[in-house]
Amino acid sequence: MSTVGPAAVSPGIRRTLLWVFLESLRLRSLIRMIASSRRPVHENLTMKIQIVIPARLASSRLPEKLLLRAGGKSVLQHTYDAAMRSQTAIHSDSSSPVIVAVDDDRLYDEVLSFGGHAVRTSVDCASGTDRVAEVATQQPQTDIFVNVQGDEPEIDPDAIDRVATALCDDANAEMATVVTPIRDHQRMQDPACVKAVFDDAMRAIYFSRAPIPFDRDGKFGTGHGDGPDSPVLGYQHLGLYAYRREFLTWFAGQACGVLESIERLEQLRAIQAGRRIAIGLVDAATPGIDTEEDFRQFADRVETAK
C-alpha cells in the first residue's frame, strides 16, 4: 500500500487549504460577534469600565503631534470625541467615562480647554499600558480599563466597544485587543503593520512586525490586491486594548521582557509571561498619526468632511 505524503499535494491544493484555515478563523470570530450583538453592546458590559487615553507630549517622528490642529480641534480632542461616541462611554455610569492620562502641563491644559477630564501621570512611564496602570491605582472600584491611543483621531467607536466586549465575554482572559484581516502582500511585509496570530478560541499566540504566518511556499503568490475577494493573508493588530484591574497591577510591576525589547511591542510582555489575551475582530483599521504626511492626509479628510 502506498501513502500520499505532503510532497504529493499540489501547490494549488496547499494554497486552498491555507486559505480555508485563515478564513475559518475569521468566520469563528464573526460568529462570536453575531452572538454577542443580538443584544445592545452596552448590555454586554456589566462590569465597571473606564476608557483611558494615555497622552505623551514627546514624539520621535512628529513632535507634539497630539496638539496639532485640524478642523479647529487638536488631534487629542478628535480622539477624545470619538471615544465619547462609543456605547461604552455613552452608557457608563461615570461622570468621566473617558479620562486622558497626560505627562505634560500643555496636554493637561488642552484637555481642560475642550471640557475633558485629565489626570497627570509620570513622565517616566515606559508605555501607554504603564500609564493606564497608573490611572488604575486611583480607581479601585473599576473592573476593566480600555486603552485608546491618543494619536488615533479617526478611531471607530465600535472598535472600542468590541475590545471591551471581547474581554467581558472571555472570563479567563486578562487582556483583550482587536485585529483586522490583511489581504495585501505589501502590508504583510511592512514592519509598521503589526501582525497577530491567534488560536481557535480567539486567544493571541504571538504578535510580530514580521509577516506571520510566514508563507514559506508562496501559496498566495506576490500580488498586491486588497479587495474583499482577495484571500486573507494574516491579521493586522490594532493598538487598542482592554485590561482587567489585576492584570494592570501585574503589568506595572513586570520588567520589560526580551520579546518586547526586540519587537518594541508592549503586548509581548504579557505573551512572554503566558498571560491570556482575548482577540476581537473588526472590519478595518483606521489610520493613526505617526508622521507629518499622516497628519496632512488626516487634515485633508477633516476639511473634506465639513
pLDDT of residue 252: 87
Instruction: Report yes or no on 140 lying in a domain.
Output: yes
Considering the domain boundaries, does residue 33 fall inside one? yes
pLDDT averaged over 10-residue windows placed end to end, the chain, 306 residues: 53 62 60 47 70 93 94 97 96 93 97 97 90 94 96 96 95 96 92 95 96 84 63 93 95 91 94 96 91 95 90
Position 295 in a domain: no
* 137 and 182 inside one domain: no
Phi, psi of 21 (to 5 degrees): -60, -50
User: What's the domain count of the chain?
Assistant: 2
In this predicted structure, what is the pLDDT of residue 158?
Answer: 96
Would 4 be classed as within a structural domain?
no
At residue 243, the pLDDT reads 97
The alpha carbon of 250 is separated from its chain's Cα centroid by a whole number of angstroms, namely: 20
Question: What residues pair up with 195 in beta bridges, in sequence order?
Answer: 208, 236
Are 78 and 153 a contacting pair, CB within 8 Å? yes
Q: What is the CATH number of the domain that holds 92?
A: 3.90.550.10
Residues 26 and 49 in one domain: no
Parent domain of 233: 13-44+156-285
| Bridge partners, residue 50, by sequence | 145
Q: Is residue 231 situated within a structural domain?
A: yes
Residue 64 and residue 210 in one domain: no
Kindly state whether residues 117 and 144 are assigned to the same domain. yes
In a domain, 70, yes or no: yes
| pTM attached to this predicted model | 0.83
Contact residues for 24 (Cβ-Cβ < 8 A; gap 6+) = none
Copy the grid coordinates of residue 152. 488615533
Strand 98-102 relative to strand 49-55, pairing: parallel
Structural Rg of the chain based on CA atoms: 20
Q: Which of 109, 134, 152 is the last residue of a domain?
A: 152
